[in-house]
Structure 1
Amino acid sequence: MRMRQLQCFVVLAEELSFTRAAQRLNMSQPPLSTQIQTLERDLAAQLILRTSRKVTLTRAGEAFLGHARSILDQYERATQEIAAIQQGQAGMLEIGATGSILRGGLSDLLSRFAVRNPGITLRVTEQPPSVQITEVISHRTDVSFNRSIPRNRDLTHEFAWCEEMVALLPQDHPLATQDAISIADLRDDDHVLLRPDSSDFATYVLSRIIDAGYQPKVSQQVVDAQSIPSLIASGFGVSIVPAGIARLTAGPLAFLPIRPDPPMAQVYMVYRRDEQGSALQAFLAHVRAERHEVSA
């Protein structure tokens, strides 16, 4: 049983005329008769009664008509869905990110993409940087947003955006009322740092502190910058964090610009080198377009 046979039967049932049905189907009457006969043979049932004066449906034909319409409708919806997926207008996109990157602009980016691509479902999972890479390699995540470039030949990356880093201090810190400070101004404070072995980004932040002329006194080490504000508020010292951390962060804290040369937190999209999924390609194109708009 083929879709064409069902289509021929439904049109004939609606017209009750081989002449009119053949015209609607843009075919001649003999092939239409053949399609109906083949369908009846496949079903082992007579669906059409034809006399010299009229065409009518048998009881089997009447019963089968609803099923035939339902099958054709499901087939049409399925082909439309597949076409949408192929064009990147539908599907599921699994995204990995740290909480700090979500705050730093990713959540807004995803919101804008979702408005323009309502057929694509976005599912975001917060993950430490190392776990993000593992999940992309294992095909459990389509794209990861990471501040470090992966060292894996199966993966590729693209620059997504850049975020200035700021000094994070308790609100009662002597420098909290300054308009801006330098990293060297923090030399006497305890520091809450990203664990240096957790990512290249963590190593970069530590190197910027050392370049300022001192080895920091470390009170706490964490994997995700999102964990730092609560530790600073609890009195564990100061830190240097991406500016996006300040978004939605409450408490007795001060976020100060670093001048004259602020550290920068670059964010990369990481995905499999051989990935051809249309939903992902649509998403990458969206991010590139936004990046172009910002730089224009």
Structure 2
Amino acid sequence: MNLKQLRYFVTVAEELHFGRAAQRLHISQPPLSMSIQQLESHLGFALFLRNNKNVALTDAGTLFYREALMLLKHADDMQQIGERVAQGTIGHLRIGFTSSTLFRGLNQYIASFQKQYPQVEISLRELNSYEQFQAIKQEQINLGFVHTLNDTEQISHRLFLAEEFICCMPKSHPLAQRNSIDLKHLQHEPFILFPRAVSPYYHDQITAICVNAGFSPHLVHEVRNWLTIVEFVELGLGIALVPKSMQSLKKDHVRFIEIENNDILSETHCIWNKRSSSILLDHFLQLLPFGAV
């Protein structure tokens, strides 16, 4: 039994006349009659009562007609859904991110994507860089935004954003009114930083910036996300070096100041599985400004 046979049967059931049904289907009558006979043989019961003058549905045929209509409608719906999935207008896109990515414009690109593809569902998962690599390999997310590129054997990647580090200090700090600052003036300041176990990338980047300025940072407070770091600075608990995008927080009691003579940048990379053939992923990647600085 196939969909073609069901369509033939439904047409005959609606016309109750093989000749008119054949005309509707744009086929000749013999193949239509043969198809109905094959369907009845497959089912093991008669669908029609036939004589020289009339065609009528059997009781089984009446029930089968109702079920066939629902099955054909479901098949048509499945085809339409499949076509829309293939075109990338519906579906489900799963995105991994680190918390700082939200300050780098990811939310704007998601909003733009959803405006263009309103029937695509987007799920966000906050994961560190290592967890995102694992989730990509296990196909738990479609793409991610990470700061480190370690094991890229199965991973495609492109630079999403490279930005400067800036100094974040309380407005009450004696150096807070400067437009730029030489970090050597901060060598005795208490620093607020990620624990290396939580974010080895940022820990090592910020330590390297300080070492290039001639000192090792005096690490006093260790916290696990950028928001808390800036909050600690606002409370007067120390200073921090943060990616420039953190300026978007617009804190009233904090100043963000450019760092002099620093070439080390904070990088965010977009990653996805090399074997992925998702048109939704392709659509999303086309929106991203790769390599923006």
Please state which band the TM-score falls in when normalised by the shorter chain: 0.7 to 0.9
| Residue 266 (structure 2) aligns with | 265
SS in 2 for 1:214: coil
Q: Which runs of 5+ in 1 are unaligned?
A: none
Q: 2:204, 2:22 → 1: CA distance? A: 74
Q: Which runs of 5+ in 2 are unaligned?
A: none
| Residue 233 (structure 2) aligns with | 232
User: 1:103 Cα deviation (Å)?
Assistant: 2.2
Task: Pick closer, same or farther for the CA change 1:43–1:152 going to 2, 3 Å.
Answer: same
User: 1:196 Cα deviation (Å)?
Assistant: 4.1
| Residue 171 (structure 1) aligns with | 171
User: 1:254 Cα deviation (Å)?
Assistant: 2.1
Q: TM-score, normalised by structure 2?
A: 0.87
RMSD between superposed Cα atoms in Å:
2.6
Instruction: Provide, for residues 132-151 of structure 1, a one-character-per-residue CA deviation record: whole Å limited to 9, x for no partner.
Output: 22222232222110122223
Asked if the contact 2:128–2:146 (Cα under 8 Å) also holds between the matched residues in 1, the reply is: no
User: 1:121 Cα deviation (Å)?
Assistant: 1.6
| Residue 141 (structure 2) aligns with | 141
Q: 1:118, 1:84 → 2: CA distance? A: 12
User: 1:174 Cα deviation (Å)?
Assistant: 2.0
SS in 2 for 1:247: helix
Instruction: Provide, for residues 181-240 of structure 1, a one-character-per-residue CA deviation record: whole Å limited to 9, x for no partner.
Output: 343443332111233453434422321222122221111234443431122223331111
Q: 2:34, 2:244 → 1: CA distance? A: 72
Bigger drift between 255-264 and 57-66 goes to 255-264
Asked if the contact 1:129–1:199 (Cα under 8 Å) also holds between the matched residues in 2, the reply is: no
| Residue 126 (structure 2) aligns with | 126
| Residue 159 (structure 2) aligns with | 159
Q: 1:4, 1:212 → 2: CA distance? A: 77
Q: 1:49, 1:249 → 2: CA distance? A: 80
Correspondence 1:253 to 2:217: no
Asked if the contact 2:159–2:290 (Cα under 8 Å) also holds between the matched residues in 1, the reply is: no
Query: What one-letter code is carried by the residue in structure 1 that aligns with 2:130?
Result: S
SS in 1 for 2:181: coil
Task: Pick closer, same or farther for the CA change 1:24–1:181 going to 2, 3 Å.
Answer: farther
Instruction: Provide, for residues 49-106 of structure 1, a one-character-per-residue CA deviation record: whole Å limited to 9, x for no partner.
Output: 3343443323322222221111111111222222333333332222111111122211
Bigger drift between 30-39 and 44-53 goes to 44-53
| Residue 63 (structure 1) aligns with | 63
Task: Pick closer, same or farther for the CA change 1:46–1:223 going to 2, 3 Å.
Answer: same
Q: 1:170, 1:246 → 2: CA distance? A: 13
Q: TM-score, normalised by structure 1?
A: 0.86
Q: 2:250, 2:63 → 1: CA distance? A: 64
Correspondence 1:23 to 2:23: yes
Bigger drift between 108-117 and 216-225 goes to 216-225
